[in-house]
Chains A and B, each alone.
Chain A
Amino acid sequence: MRYKVIHTTHYKYAARVTHCFNLANLIPRNTNRQKCINSKITVSPQPIHTNKRTDYFGNQCYHFEIQTAHKELSISSESQIEIQESSADLNLDLGMSYGDALNFFKQAPSNEVIKAKEFILDSPMIKTNEDIANYARPSFSASRPLNSCVAELTKRIFEDFTYTPGFTTIATPLSEVLEHKRGVCQDFAHLEIACLRAMGIPAKYVSGYMETLPPPGQKKLVGADATHAWIAYFSPEEGWIEFDPTNDLRPGSKHIVTAEGRDYYDVTPIKGVIFGGGKGPILEISVDVSRMP
């Protein structure tokens, strides 16, 4: 399957910005199931200096500096991505048990496992605690296959939590999400990662897009798609396996990956420092995911 993604971010500032330094994680990375064929970032006003690099996590980072005074900033990323149909279904009832998996991680037999252990630890926005462990624990027992444990955890989050846009911001702590059982995809992803880490399983944050289909008989609206976030955990036998707690499904050919990291902090789509700008910039985001012939 081939997709074209256009992701536009627009800032309107209350006062002039005279100088800014930004860092964008908007160029889709390659993974074992997707390939970014081409990608282009357009920034207005024109940056005086840009730099593209691959970061620590293998994501594509785009740095830009603007010296033109401006009250509006627009960043548009346009990419074409080829995605393989997902291979054979994961059999949840087979595979290494949770208990064996824990031992396996402890022994860290391969370099891949050593690297994966980074994702068991606390990260800037995800700190595990006893409440989170208590929430996760019912889905995990030593003899049960790990994959089945995670599938159940994903399902529980999907069922227990209500998708409520606007209830949380990126600064809302997990404890609040857990208490009110509300949030958006990034909250659910953070929560599931925290649960997995509390149970000793390496888990990472995946940001990207999901193709949405219009209701039958209606035409799809341009820009109505959205950025999305889900998780991947490390299975001793299969390596990294993705789950989407917001939709209770395993990401397949409709999930397009932009970046991966320990949590949102590592993959923030656009961050940076501005000089000026006043208070309360207005942000508009539009995403359009379309299939290509």
Chain B
Amino acid sequence: MSDSPYPQNQPLPQAQLQMQAQLQGQGQSQTTQELKYKRPPSDIPDQVYSDDGTIKAEWNYLLNSLNNLGPQALVDRQEKAKRILRDDGVTYNIYADSQSSGSQWELDLVPAIIGSEEWAKIESGLLERAELFNLMLRDLYGPRHLLKNKIIPPEALFSHGGFLRACEGIKIPGEHELILHSVDLVQRKDRSMCVLSDRTQSPSGAGYVLENRTVMSRVFPSLFRDSHVHRLASFFQRLRQKLISLSPSENKARVVVLTPGAHNETYFEHSYLSNYLGFPLVQSGDLVVRNGFVWMKSLEGLDRVDVILRRIDDVFCDPVELRSDSHLGIPGILDVIRSGRVVMANPLGSGVLENPIFLKYLPEIGKSLLGREPRLDSVKTYWCGDDEDLKFITANIKDLIIKPSYRGTNQKSIWGGDLTDSETVELITKIRSKPNQYVAQERIDKAHIPTLANGVLEPRPAILRTYAIASDSSYIVMPGGLTRVGLDVGRQSISMQTGCPSKDTWVTATEPERVHEDNQSEAGHAELEALLVSLPSRVVENLFWLGRYAERAEASLRILRTVFMLLNGEEAISNESKRILLRSITEVTGTHPGFLNATDEQLKNPEAELLLIIKDGNRAGSIKSTLDSLLYCADESKELLSSDTIRVINDIRDALDNLETSLAGGLSSAPEEALDPLVIPLIALSGLMQESMVRGVGWHFMDMGRRVERAIQIMRTITTLITPMAEKSDHETLLHAMLRSMEVLITYRRHSRNRAGLELGLELVMLDSSNPRSLIFQFEQLQNHFASLRKGNTNLRELVEEDRVLLEAITSLKLSRIIQLVETKDGSRKNLSTLLMQLNKLLSDFSNIVSDKYFDHRIDPQQLVTTFWGENEG
């Protein structure tokens, strides 16, 4: 069944494994199952076995432990890891189209192991490389001795899209210009390590390393502990200290993490890292340049920003001086950086170091800048701009990887061996027309490591991304990194985009690691603490809308359930009641025209429309569209949500994905049940919002959103169900519908022995301050929120606008008389409808005031047009 070129154990089919597990119980009695690592054939390099054919010590312990666990236990733990990753909301490429591989982060449970001794060699190579690249960066944007001394041909630098002339002369505090350096490494056949590429703009992956580690230590607590794995925490601690130390302000360091936004493939890691480091996560629209400084827009106004850890590539950062079509940048920021009033890490322009042409010259560059060739090899690289190299490349193109020298050009690497003869000719022509723009690299047979596949440990090619950060006078290397493995044995291309799994990387010591005492460094920065505690106003706005959408979805589901219950109830209801009930669904969900002018036929068979109201994502107001909006707001404010909340949000996402299946049976029988997978997480969400969120600015605005929305829904429900004057026989039905959808039916029944129906009902839903679902309760809560937000600032003499509006609404409600509200005239309850209209207007005024005053109203920037220039030009 396997066509792989080497002998292997027949993998046990999944079903059979499960059956065995069931037969044997879930216990430890798995020892009959062997979980051995099958060494790949001799022509494929492998990291587990040493040259004498024995398993290396550092792997031995791991493989024995896994073997003792047995395959089924390992599969179980893989499932557990999957659940943790999903509950933590670990995603990659979440907005990719559904055709491409899933957005769930893939973690293989078998860690990549590197022994201490071997790691020491790698680490010193990485340290040296980071130092070298730092010196290169300084030279290339400064004296350019490397050109003058003919170490690098001028074309290698000048033709590269990453050499940004506008960035010349940027200086940042401290001994290093290059703050973060990251490389992709592989082990070659001769067991030496070799660098494939460098990442020097905003290296990604470090957040995923942390998450992988967290999962591994939870899934394998004892194995992890006993393996003496080097810890990662101090690396991130140093990163945090370094960022703080970069601040140009005296005794202050306001640091932010800049993300391109929730649509970026690695957004999960941006929010995860910003949380871990304790710095606010901002998007470019949250930052603004004013008076020669950079500021963050927060509810309180503008907060100065000192240091920006960016996750945006160089050329997109400033549309004034760099790519003018960028929407991710902050106009004017480059000039602030140049003047030293804000520091960006890595500095703009550092992408020039990603130029693979430099790999060809790296030994010479090392000699020139460090006085020696770098210890760590780079992949053998040929440059098409060099005549000799070009001859070699055209003659050997089938055995080379052809790469554009600048990554921004949207061109992919090409493996010459995959090309037909005519494609080869075409490629060579393309190269010859712009030879400076291409390099060719040898393909390295990557050493394989064990990976769990089909219930056994199979060899897979591995690539390791490592990270170094500047720290005091040197660099610190993360002990470990992000290992990624190929999808098959011998398979060369390894890319997260094609769903290749990742692994935790364990640098293991023979002795347990001593806890690092970092006093000296701590003391140096003790004065300089990170200060920025306010939230970008965009995040607050998203929380406000998160509250609104959550409440809107709940209200919509409640009215749907109520109507289903009545329509399918024991008692027959009149056509008039049915019309009003269905119309209330349209009104509450806002899915007009819907049932507003429904024909008799539609009234008889409302199911088609009801289904659309639930699942049609393209229809504004449908449950699906409301929940899609809710998920978007949750993504935008992710860093403020607790891990339980993120779990519940994921449940909602799953339920939405499965909506089609849940509704497959239609709505004819027990439709409430079909909606349960949505109702339950929504209830959990509102519980968590109340119980798991710190009462900070964010929570206040989120709850305000909920109150505003609930008030709107209460008014809509009363307006559609109660204001029209129905037949007397329908009164009871409609009143019950209202009370049920607002969850006060039980209270009503308890009180109704003494009082007449409608008066009591209206009092409960409008005027009862002790009912959390009454109208007055919402307005009073809004008032309370502002009182808390303004704490310590109570000397205001004149009422501010939002207070004015709320006071008017509450007063109107309090002064109303139930007797007058229930009065009917010309077939409707005029007084009730007038009061509701007035309240509705006040609520909408309130909403506008809040939005104008607290939320950011971004105007999109545009380029100053210069195309008219030609006219007056001689």
Contact = CB atoms under 8 A, between A and B. Distances in A.
Interface of A: 11, 18, 20-23, 48-49, 51, 53, 55-57, 63, 65, 67, 108, 111, 114-115, 117-118, 120-122, 129, 165-166, 168-171, 184-186, 210, 212, 225-229, 246, 266, 268-277, 280-283, 285-287
Interface stretch (B126-134, B462-470, B861-869): B861-869
A260 to B, nearest CB: 13
Contacts of B55: none
Contact of A272 (B864, B869, B872): B864
A48 B290 CA distance: 8
- Top 6 nearest A-B pairs (CB, nearest first) are A226-B874, A21-B332, A56-B165, A273-B331, A283-B868, A169-B867
Given A21-B331, A229-B873, A49 B291 contact: yes
Contacts of A210: 874
Nearest to B148: A111
17 contacts: A18-B859, A21-B331, A48-B290, A49-B292, A55-B165, A115-B147, A121-B159, A166-B871, A169-B869, A184-B874, A227-B872, A227-B874, A272-B331, A273-B319, A273-B324, A274-B863, A283-B868
A270 B292 CA distance: 19
B150 A185 contact: no
Contacts of A129: 433
B866 A270 contact: yes
B771 interface: no
A273 B874 contact: no
B168 interface: yes
Given A23-B320, A273-B331, A65 B158 contact: no
A254 to B, nearest CB: 12
Given A65-B289, A121-B436, A273 B862 contact: yes
Contact of B166 (A49, A56, A114, A226): A56
Given A227-B874, A273-B864, A114 B869 contact: no
B253 to A, nearest CB: 23
A246 B874 contact: yes
Nearest to B437: A122
B155 interface: yes
B867 A48 contact: no
Contacts of A55: 165-166, 168
Contacts of A166: 870-871
A11 B864 contact: yes
A170 B864 CA distance: 13
A33 to B, nearest CB: 20
Contact of A186 (B436, B865, B873): B873
Contact of B291 (A48, A272, A276): A48
Given A111-B147, A165-B873, A275-B859, 11 more contacts: A11-B864, A51-B292, A56-B166, A56-B168, A114-B148, A169-B870, A170-B870, A272-B320, A280-B865, A283-B865, A286-B872
Given A21-B320, A273-B319, A275-B859, A185 B148 contact: no
Contacts of A171: 867
Contacts of A282: 868
Contacts of B324: 271, 273
Contacts of B868: 169, 282-283
A271 B863 contact: yes
Contacts of B150: 108, 114
Contacts of A57: 165
A274 B874 contact: no
Contacts of A286: 872
A212 B873 CA distance: 13
Centre residue among A18, A49, A269, A285 by max chain B CB count within 10 A: A49
Contact of A168 (B864, B870, B872): B870
A228 B320 contact: no
A228 B874 contact: yes
B285 to A, nearest CB: 11
Interface string B698-722: 0000000000000000000000000
A165 B871 contact: yes
A230 to B, nearest CB: 10
B339 interface: yes
Nearest to B164: A56
A279 to B, nearest CB: 9
Interface string B431-452: 0011010000000000000000
B486 to A, nearest CB: 37
A20 B331 CA distance: 9
Contacts of B870: 165-166, 168-170, 184, 186
A184 B871 CA distance: 9
Contacts of B862: 273-274, 277
B872 A285 contact: yes
B873 A185 contact: yes
A21 B330 CA distance: 11
A25 B168 CA distance: 17
A227 B292 contact: no
A280 to B, nearest CB: 8
A5 to B, nearest CB: 14
Contacts of B436: 121
Given A51-B292, A165-B870, A273 B335 contact: no
Contacts of B873: 165, 184-186, 226-229
A170 B872 contact: no
A276 B331 CA distance: 14
Contacts of A48: 290-291
Contacts of B289: 21, 65
A67 B290 contact: yes
B317 to A, nearest CB: 13
Contacts of B147: 111, 114-115
A20 B290 CA distance: 10
A15 B536 CA distance: 28
A133 B865 CA distance: 32
A170 B290 contact: no
Contact of B861 (A114, A118, A212, A275): A275
B665 interface: no
A170 B863 CA distance: 14
Contact of B338 (A53, A115, A165): A53
Given A48-B291, A117-B154, A271 B864 contact: yes
A142 to B, nearest CB: 18
Nearest to A21: B332
B290 A273 contact: no
A271 B860 CA distance: 17
B759 to A, nearest CB: 54
Nearest to B872: A285
B374 to A, nearest CB: 24
B87 interface: no
B321 interface: yes
A288 to B, nearest CB: 12
Contacts of A120: 155
A129 B432 CA distance: 12
A276 B859 contact: yes
B859 A118 contact: no
Contacts of B320: 21-23, 271-273
B364 to A, nearest CB: 16
B336 to A, nearest CB: 9
Contacts of B332: 21, 63, 65, 273
A65 B290 contact: yes
Nearest to B158: A118
Contacts of B158: 117-118, 121
Contact of B869 (A225, A228, A269, A281): A269
B788 to A, nearest CB: 33
Contact of B872 (A117, A226, A275, A280): A226
A51 B339 contact: yes
Interface string B149-167: 0100011001100000110
A63 B335 contact: yes
B155 A117 contact: yes
Nearest to A163: B874
A49 to B, nearest CB: 4
A283 B869 contact: yes
A1 B597 CA distance: 85
